[in-house]
Structure 1
Amino acid sequence: MVLLGDEQCNNDWIKPYLRRNGGLIQFVFLVYDSTEIDNEVFYQWPLGVATWLPMETDASREEYIKALSESDLTLNPVGQNTECYRIYEAMSYGSVPVIEDVMTSGHCGNSSISQKSPLRLLKEEKAPVIYVKDWKEIDRILEKETTLTQEYKTRRRRDNVLWYESFKSKMRERFVRILQKHFFPVHR
């Protein structure tokens, strides 16, 4: 099962349906940094790029895409969860996400297999993003941006898009590997 979990990681409702508890679900790919992630029954899955909302118009979507493609940096303040679609949307257009690296309220956080929450997968894969603990850091970040050459920024955009494509490929390969492990185990 791939589960777009609760933004505050309140996912206990799924536990009775797990095979280990007498249910039918063998394992779960869960979005968000849940403490349940154990790489045995619960695997983390990146939030990824959003589908456009029904009220989205062609014009507003194009305006958003244009803004991302023309922005060197994309600010990502926390909402209900630290991880948001904007992070992945920005990377898909080469813009560097500036991410507020703070844990939101709820039951998200470090798991038994990783102490890198929030944003575990991005940190483990060394995503080309900028993490901030406090938005007061933005002045320093913006000042540094003014010193970068256009050539550097262009190369960085290309590298970010390439990193994101590689990340998606790794996640796809990981997904298939886990499916094979659970459904087609090698008998020795």
Structure 2
Amino acid sequence: MAQIKPIILLDRDGVINHDSDAYVKSVEEWQPIAGSIHAIAALSKAGFQVFVVTNQSGIARGYYDEATLQAMHDKMTALVEEKGGKINGIQYCPHGPDNDCNCRKPKSGMIEAIEAELRVSFENTPAILVGDSLRDLQAGQARGCSPVLVLTGKGRDTQYKKIDFPFSVYTDLAAFTVATLQQYS
């Protein structure tokens, strides 16, 4: 009997594309990490639903606007589609750290929005959140997702932080995808 495939939630900067301490502010600056686009497409083609959950405080800080963010997401989506895959949805938080919103990770509002859209609870439906920062892992863990750390982006620094719940670690999104495809084939 086939296992139920978990829903995959991916952080964006540092997991799918290269991150920058100066923020990714344009379509030209948005560059995928080697293997990440193929990995998303492979997950999608294998029947996994893939969502992106990303803090984008650069909007609140005035570094770029929502139209530019949409253009970055259009580029990401088109690259995945060129490989035969699909991103099922993208949730982003445009707020800054001082806005006290419910969507900015480590809070779980973006994940809750996906649960509402799918009419599921990740407390009862399997889901994996792949991130490169502690706040990614915390947001996923808060909603019952299995947290996974990748060592791209801020991941190498994150792995040495004191984290009081279990999580898996992979070198990058491609390595996570290979293991996941093997586990659920």
| TM-score, shorter chain, exceeding 0.5 | no
Q: Which has the higher contact order (CA 8 A, sep 6+)?
A: 2
Task: Give the TM-score band, short-chain normalised.
Answer: under 0.3
Normalising by structure 1, report the TM-score: 0.27
Normalising by structure 2, report the TM-score: 0.27
Greater helix fraction, Structure 1 or Structure 2: 1
Q: Quick check: which has more Rg, 1 or 2?
A: 1
